[in-house]
A and B are shown apart, each in its own frame.
Chain A
């Protein structure tokens, strides 16, 4: 592992770039860039921006899931990023372009402290601790006046206009959300590229090894705690980055937007798309789950019932997600199919034995 650790950034990429893939990506990029030309309604733009945010949250969930940790604190770190950015901008008057990286850094530091405590308890312990953290953070935001209480923070400044020489400055306006849309695309692109790079690096290989078999990985010299902690920090930081954007996009924050239910929705996006698909799965899932409730607006109160039923049915009949239906690639690693994740986590129960095989 010493070799791997030294120059992970030099290790050959595992991404196979084929010409067909390149053409597909170029077409996708053109479609994404041209969306504001076709979609004129600010409301539909708002939905698309939320799709981007939700997709990143689901990606962060899958990122950590690959190392065998199921987190329920995605929304908490999303909220930490949002509140950090909002407080920096409102209290200290920092411009958005400084508050964005600063809030990501703050999220990373908090994720390090929290993860140091949590990652030591894999299995049930980690899940329960992240749930507790997710609840505690909403309480902290709501209780202390410093964070604005349950009323939340209002009047968060918009991102400052970008001035490019010889061109009109790019204004961020609530009326046409085009600038916000492109900023969202840019941030999602950063996260996706970063995740791709991490998956392709030797650290990514170590994470995959942990996902396959923690005990085997450990015996080969992978420091489980260190790699899991790193994965926790990275996934939380990605959520925090989108939180900062969310704060300045919405211009107001309430603590209850960041409760555990939001994390559960992030899980829904990931599972609906298929958790074997680290990037495309969350995008597909978030697209469907963000747009479809708007089509069923008359039945809004039945929406959680639909979602809950959908989750149960997905787990029972479609464990590989929607993309698993159309993809020829079969999930081979245990961490890539919901049906197979966590046979090993079950063994972390104090009362169970390690030798039990699955009957299926």
Chain B
């Protein structure tokens, strides 16, 4: 029974990297512009649908379509920030409500635009590779590798470039950052654009592997859980929690059924949060301050 085991791990990692990408983008948006962006899953779905329609209807090459999908979600993220979230910056409840409204609007618009049935597309990378008797589909390996590359790039961007430093400074303290000459509003806008681009990327690369359907925006809620488990704002925590969730769900669906596996995961998250309120790798949240 070795084959199912390895396949389950690879399937789990492939789903897990999608969670990791989304959780990383979500972490960016929650820590720099301080937006609890509930509509994030809709951007992921939008990326997937744009890629699907470009490749299937207009017959674009996969990579071009991927770039266009990322561009579209990034631009939409910027527009949404300028039109809505910039005006209510700092008003926590208002931000959540606006994000909820955006979520309802976008998910229903996509459902009306593309229909309710789920869609799938032909694989881009076909074939299997054979490593020591273990067969892995190239598609999933490429998905995992591509995500890894993006995550490394994101890490380098945040740590080494001037812009990444500005983003971290604004997330630490916007006023002090402004005193140092950082335009915090532009930084917030850029973070929003980057975060939404990550969502578009995640949606784009998962389309050839998994089917897409108009309720997949609900992934936001799972991403919230991943973010919570890894610790709000913690990039490493997001990676660990996302991969753990992916592999757990993959094994759970195989052995005890998807529903029970998800409930178990919720339970485990509850227990971990009880003992470590800030998540595995995060700092425990401070009490609110007036």
| Residues of chain A whose beta carbon lies under 8 Å from any beta carbon of chain B | 65, 68, 70, 117, 120-125, 127-129, 131-133, 135-136, 139-140, 142-143, 212-216, 218, 224, 260, 264, 267, 271, 301-305, 307-312, 314-316, 319, 334, 338-360
- Note all chain B residues with C-beta closer than 8 A to A142: 259
In the complex, what's the smallest C-beta–C-beta distance from B260 to chain A, in angstroms?
Answer: 6
- Tell me which residues from 29 to 45 in chain B have a Cβ below 8 Å from any Cβ of chain A: 30-31, 34, 36
Within 8 A of A (CB), among B97-141: 97-98, 100-109, 112
Instruction: Decide: B285 and A350 in contact? CB cutoff 8 A.
Output: yes
Given contacts A131-B224, A338-B97, A343-B91, contact A305 B105 (CB under 8 A): yes
Q: Which of A309, A352, A359 has its CB near the most chain B CB atoms (within 10 A)?
A: A352
Q: Which of B53-61, B192-200, B263-271 participates in binding chain A?
A: B263-271
The 25 listed contacts between A and B (C-beta, < 8 Å) are A117-B273, A123-B288, A124-B30, A124-B36, A127-B36, A128-B224, A139-B262, A213-B290, A215-B287, A215-B289, A301-B108, A304-B104, A304-B107, A308-B106, A311-B97, A312-B98, A315-B84, A315-B101, A338-B93, A342-B92, A343-B90, A343-B92, A348-B289, A349-B30, A351-B172
Are the C-beta atoms of A68 and B228 separated by less than 8 Å? no
Which of B30, B105, B259, B285 interacts with A121 by CB under 8 Å?
A: B285
Min C-beta distance of B35 to chain A, whole Å: 10
**Which A residues are CB-close (under 8 A) to B101?**
307-312, 315
- Considering only CB atoms, which chain B residue lies closest to A342 in the complex? B92
Residues from chain A with a CB closer than 8 A to the CB of B286 are 347-348, 350, 354
Q: How far is the CA of A47 from the CA of B176 in the complex (A)?
A: 53
User: Is B277 in contact with A351, judged by CB distance below 8 angstroms?
Assistant: no
B97 proximity list for chain A (CB < 8 A): 267, 271, 311, 314-315, 338
Q: Which listed residue (A117, A122, A143, A359) contacts B257, Cβ 8 A? A: A143
Which residue in chain A gives the minimum CB-CB distance to B91?
A339
- Give the one of B92, B102, B263 with max A CB within 10 A: B92
Least CB distance from B275 to A in Å reads 10
Q: Is the CB of B100 within 8 A of A267?
A: yes
Contact of B87 with A by CB under 8 A? yes
A357→B176 CA distance, assembly (Å): 11
Shortest C-beta distance, B267 to chain A (Å), equals: 8
Q: A264-B100, A350-B285 are in contact. List 7 more A-B contacts (CB 8 A).
A: A136-B263, A213-B290, A307-B104, A308-B102, A308-B103, A316-B84, A353-B176
The answer to whether B285 touches A309, judged by C-beta atoms less than 8 angstroms apart, is no
Q: Contacts A142-B259, A352-B34; is A128 near B91 (CB within 8 Å)?
A: no
User: Are B269's CB and A351's CB within 8 A?
Assistant: no
Which residues of B are found within 8 Å of A122, using beta-carbon distances?
285, 287-288
Q: How far is the CA of A311 from the CA of B84 in the complex (A)?
A: 11
Q: Which of B218-232 contact A (CB under 8 A)?
A: 221, 224-225, 227-228, 231-232
In the complex, the answer to whether A351 meets B288 with C-beta atoms within 8 Å is no
Instruction: List the A side residues contacting B269 at CB < 8 Å.
Output: 132
With both chains docked as a complex, state the minimum distance between the C-beta of B127 and any C-beta of chain A, in angstroms: 37
Decide if B159 is an interface residue (CB 8 Å cutoff).
Answer: no
Give the Cβ gap from A217 to chain B, nearest Cβ, in Å: 10
